[in-house]
Amino acid sequence: MIKINEMEIPTLDDLQFSEKKVLVRIDINSPVDPETGKLLDYSRIKAYSSTIKELIEKGNSVVLMSHQGRPGDNDFISLEEHSKLLNKYLGASVEFVDDVIGPYARERISKLKPGEILLLDNVRLISEELIEASPLQHAKSFLVRRLSPLFDGYVNDAFAAAHRSQASLVGFPMILKSSAGRVMEREVLALSKIFNPDDSPKVFVLGGGKVLDSLRIIENLVKRKLADRILTGGLIAELFAVAKGIDLGRDNINILEKKGLLSLIPRARKILLSGGPIEIPVDFRVEKEGKVIEEPSSKVTGAIKDIGLTTMNIYSSFIKEAKVIVMRGPMGIIEDERFREGSKELLNNALESPGYVIIGGGHMISMLGSRDIESTKIHVSTGGGALLLFLAGEKLPALEALNMSRGVGK
């Protein structure tokens, strides 16, 4: 049992599933190359081997469920490639089922034999999965009602999606005997350690494209005074720059507008006015007429693609003095080799600094490559948004649902 924030979350040790049919929610949502549609990082896919192997060794059969991207985005793809990679890293056969709740999936699950592993297709093909609602409401969803009668138990190992109150994450624990998986357990135990007030200064390096999530996280960090510095990059940095009154040029503003981000400016301004310890890039690396140049933030004319050299130096000096460094989301468009330097530089500085480094989000993890790092120095989290919301002291709905599930399905 994990005890945290007045919650008691059952683990696999408490439930001892054996010779059962178990539904396992994992999060293998991975960055996708927009050109080829291929996966760019396999770290989440590798992470679940321990939970799956443990269940299989105890004679259970396992059905894996995950999302990938969101409808309308170019990373909203099927899980077929993921199944081949799971196969490879697990060293066991994982059958891909091209269906989620339809007759084919249900028949395949009902015929499952001990030791077999299935991966259902992208759960976000089911539109109700995108609705955020309470566990009790989600217990009545089609997804939960159609699938739960086919299973003896449910394991939630999707720490990376634990901040979403979606049917596959919170609905099943209301019906089935449930527990956290080993990834969820490891994450919660490792991250709980940083709530120690002696571990200051704490520096958060936040970039990437999930601006709404980042803003929510920053609001929490500032409100609870949990961060000594918040170093911004990517679109969230642009949002704060505009909120501060910096003119980033028509083209960059247009991009923010197209992404519907301008409406967030008042929230960003409120954070700045409240004295939040937000650092905004003083210069950017931009692309202009096919050339890569550096421009001060106040005189940007090209398309912003990374932080500039002076910003890298300023940010690095904060990182070198930190006791805890949390990094999520890249500083620039790292898919393009010309705009990886900002993220690479900050990551190298973090790894060389004496501080404890927590890294989350597929893009930043992909930048770690295959380097060998001591596990006492770094925690590579499978989570992005979930990681930061957890560190910002928010309650994660998937953990709350597991807490509520105690006593269900006995």
Whether residue 124 is annotated as binding a ligand: the answer is yes
Judged by CB under 6 A, the residue of 21, 24, 27, 208 near ligand 3PG is 27
Closest approach of ligand 3PG to the CB of residue 31, in Å: 9
Question: Of 190 and 272, which has the nearer Cβ to ligand 3PG?
Answer: 190
Residue 29 in contact with ligand 3PG, rule: CB under 6 A: yes
Judged by CB under 6 A, the residue of 208, 276, 384, 397 near ligand 3PG is 384
Whether residue 28 is annotated as binding a ligand: the answer is yes
Which positions from 145 through 164 interact with ligand 3PG, judged by CB under 6 A? 160-161, 164
Residue 216 in contact with ligand 3PG, rule: CB under 6 A: no
Whether residue 295 is annotated as binding a ligand: the answer is no
Question: Of 29 and 61, which has the nearer Cβ to ligand 3PG?
Answer: 29
Whether residue 138 is annotated as binding a ligand: the answer is no
Whether residue 45 is annotated as binding a ligand: the answer is no
Closest approach of ligand 3PG to the CB of residue 158, in Å: 8
Whether residue 29 is annotated as binding a ligand: the answer is yes
- Kindly determine how many residues on this chain lie close enough to bind ligand 3PG according to the rule CB under 6 A: 8
CA max distance for the chain: 66
Question: Of 82 and 164, which has the nearer Cβ to ligand 3PG?
Answer: 164
- At 40, list the tokens: 């760019």
> Annotated binding site for ATP: which residue ranges?
335, 361-364
> Annotated binding site: which residue ranges?
27-29, 44, 67-70, 124, 164, 335, 361-364
> Annotated binding site for (2R)-3-phosphoglycerate: which residue ranges?
44, 124, 164
Q: Which residues lie near ligand 3PG (CB under 6 A)?
A: 27, 29, 70, 160-161, 164, 384-385
